[in-house]
A and B are shown apart, each in its own frame.
Chain A
Amino acid sequence: MTYEEFADTRLAPLLRYAVMLTGEPHQAQDLVQETMVRVQLNWRRVARADSPERYVRRMLTNQYVDWRRGSWVRRVLLRGEPDTSVPMPTDHAQSAVDRDQVWSWLSRLPRRQRAALVLRYYEDLPDVEIADTLGCAVGTVRSSISRALATLRAEYVEA
């Protein structure tokens, strides 16, 4: 497979995955751009992997989890807190509000936990593959997902 072929088929799914990770299109673009530049420059190594797709997803996930200082965090801070001022719920709007609440609660989770949730509930990957992507043990994946779910459930109760 060439880099071009890979990009033809995989760029869109990667970008969607990055949107789910970051919750926001611009950061998703940055994340995918940075990852894919490295993919292109090191294409031979990527192509040698058993599954280039998985390899690149792991690169992108690491990039997301590891981005510490630099433009990344500054942007996150500039974006401000997720909007928690929910309008007074009326009956017919209630379910829409709930749905957007889930999205904003997600943004408060630690990045590893969010990545684990996205990998399981959006990418529908088995735990073994999630563990491979995050570079940790299967048990760690399960515990971080259950912690994340517990956090979200607690938000439900409060809301």
Chain B
Amino acid sequence: MIEDDLRAAFVRHEPLTPSTGPLRVAIDRLAAVRRRRRQRFQAAGVTLALLGALGVGVPHLRPDRQVEGPSLSGQPAGAQSGALNVLLVGVDGFGDQPSYRLADSVLLVHIPADRSRPYLISLPRDLEVSIPGRGVEKLNSAFYTGAGEPRPDLDAGYDLTRQVVADLTGVRVDAGAVLTFAGLRRITEAVDGVEVCLPKEVRSWHTRRTFPAGCQLLDGDASVDLLRQRRYPPDGASDRDRNAQRYVAGLVRRAVAQDVLTSPVRLTALLSAAGKGLAVDDDGLPLTRLVAVLPELKTVDPVGLSLPVGPPAGNASRLPLDPKQGPEFLAALREDRVAQWAAQHPEQVNPVR
């Protein structure tokens, strides 16, 4: 009978089983690595996201940057300009261990050398980019490709996204962080909610929430909900990117209003509120240095911009870089002339307040 044959086949192959000794050692080692990594995230997360968004940072940090970070395809402009670029990646996926993650929002926080104000530059998730080992793809799949399945690794996802963004823009990414939905919720709650000002009503595709036009205070869940919406808004993912900028602008205002960055007590409280929903770029600027430096910006009110893109290419939904404005903008970014570019292209500026 087939059942008996099956039983016999299983028993007969028992000797294939390797010994458990080496495996047990390997398990312990790997678990120790992951545990360390997890703790690192917990300590570092919120600080870096906040400081990154605020564009803290500055002259003290310059010397380190000569030796750190990858050199980018022979384009040292970013490194020499004294400008600072922080990469914030917002990824989707619920629960502790989603089986894959895509980047919903990719935001480059650009701080010019004169420290006048931060610029929030959205890189559309549908942007056509070249991903090493994968070919021409959408930007959001860089994170997915790097992070892998079925246990996405935030570090690896970030690393590949950073590489793709650096190759695309030609600027050095000085620091960065990955924010999950859970991290977003906790950050929002750590500052008792974030005020977001919307030009138009936004309806949620996922919940029954409707976000009215105008300014409103969002709690953690509402923030996550808002930053997921791209189905109903007329301009889809671009509208979502603008909302992400409005959120960051609101978060910055909130943090400043609460003296988070100048008060060690508040900062510590925020740190302990941080969860593992955040992964931080370890190869970037040393975190201790970032935390030690207070904001020196003349104003923290950010300017929202988007990388100029053209219409979808062919029958794919990928958005290529705008053939004219795209390279101009990137040149301005590399040469630290973003303020000038924004003044010349007021239609590209997204009001964030």
Contact = CB atoms under 8 A, between A and B. Distances in A.
Given A25-B16, A98-B5, A33 B27 contact: yes
Interface stretch (B18-26, B172-180, B187-195, B319-327): B18-26
Interface of A is mostly: helix
Interface string A1-27: 000000100011001100110011100
B18 A121 contact: no
Contacts, number: 91
B2 A36 contact: no
Given A15-B20, A29-B18, A99-B5, A20 B13 contact: yes
A147 interface: no
Interface of B: 2-3, 5-14, 16-18, 20, 23-24, 26-28, 30-31, 34-35, 38, 97, 99, 148-151
A149 interface: yes
A152 B35 contact: no
B15 to A, nearest CB: 9
B2 A19 contact: no
A37 B30 contact: yes
B180 to A, nearest CB: 17
Contact of B150 (A19, A25, A67, A102): A67
A102 B28 CA distance: 36
Interface of B is mostly: helix
A20 B6 CA distance: 11
A122 B26 CA distance: 27
Nearest to A32: B23
B178 to A, nearest CB: 19
23 contacts: A7-B27, A25-B16, A28-B17, A29-B18, A33-B23, A33-B27, A33-B30, A37-B30, A37-B31, A41-B34, A63-B150, A66-B99, A66-B150, A69-B149, A102-B5, A102-B6, A102-B9, A106-B6, A121-B6, A122-B10, A149-B2, A149-B3, A152-B2
